[in-house]
Amino acid sequence: MNTHPRHCRNYVLYASLAAAASLAGCATQGVQNPAGAPVTEMRPDERGRVAGTGVESQDMVAVTDKMARKILEIPEIANAKTPPRIVLEPVVNNTRFTVNKDIFLTKIRTQLNEKASGKVRFLDRAMMATLEREQRLKQQGLVTATADPNVTEFRGADYFLTGTLEGMSTRTTQGMSDYVLYSFRLTDARTSDIVWESSLDIKKEGLEDAAYR
């Protein structure tokens, strides 16, 4: 079959335009920010356009807000004559997601320190090595001390606060579904009694999975 050269050039031109239009359409499927704004600032409790079925900032805000509020309501805290001392223990992550677990307890601690009006105190066990070194320096007379350096004043814990993240996932040809249970508890350091426990569960569904880092 004979094809006119002009017809061939037209066909190539139409094909090129169609391919360009297709690529442009694909490029517009991503994050849409206002003109001139490469990044959109959002509230941590707001669900953004870049989202998946896993643990995200709005989930952390919802969980930590509830836990901090509930801890202040329990009788052991609300009715204590002296502020109870709390030690934070690592959160256990049993979900399939890579999560910065410490952010949960850090946010709960900062919220309680900001809003509890001195009703609780947190012991900074992460600083123990530094505190012990400082005590030795004072005992050796290498640095000044306003109190007797031979008297150990490190306080013991009244309660331990920790949490667990449990997950259940489903994948089909229709997409992804993830259920995450966030549970936290306060344990009496003397008796091992769980004096408080609360949870929040969140389920999400989506067409495809997201990459979490």
Q: Domain residues of the chain, as ranges? A: 51-206
pLDDT at position 35 is 59
What pLDDT score does 80 carry?
93
Assign 3-class secondary structure to 24-41. HHHHCCCCCCCCCCCCCC
According to DSSP, the residues that pair with 85 across neighbouring strands are 121
Q: Between 102-115 and 57-71, two packed helices, what is the crossing angle to 10 degrees?
A: 50
- C-alpha 130/C-alpha 137 separation (Å) is 11
Q: Which residue has the higher pLDDT, 117 or 194?
A: 194
Say if residues 86 and 121 touch (Cβ distance below 8 Å).
Answer: yes
pLDDT at 96: 87
pLDDT band at 212 (very low <50, low <70, confident <90, very high): low
| All residues at 6 or more sequence positions from 67 whose CB lies less than 8 Å from its CB, including other chains | 108, 163, 184, 198
Confidence of residue 21 (pLDDT cuts 50, 70, 90): very low
Q: What angle do CA 202, 207, 213 make, to 5 degrees?
A: 65
- Please state which CATH number belongs to domain 51-206: 3.40.50.10610
- How far apart, in whole angstroms, are the C-alpha atoms of residue 50 and residue 54? 12
**Position of tokens 């801890």?**
71
Record the tokens describing residue 155, joined without a space: 């306080």
> What pLDDT is stored for residue 193 in this prediction?
97
- 131-143 average pLDDT score: 93
What was the pLDDT predicted at 20?
46
Other C-beta atoms closer than 10 Å to the C-beta of 51 total 12
Among 93-97, 121-125, 164-168, 203-207, the minimum mean pLDDT is found in 203-207
Token code pair at residue 81: 């004559």
What is the arithmetic mean of pLDDT over 156-168? Answer: 93
Q: How far apart are CA 39 and CA 31, in angstroms?
A: 9
In the 8-state DSSP scheme, what is residue 211? Answer: -
Lowest mean pLDDT among 120-129, 190-199, 202-211: 202-211
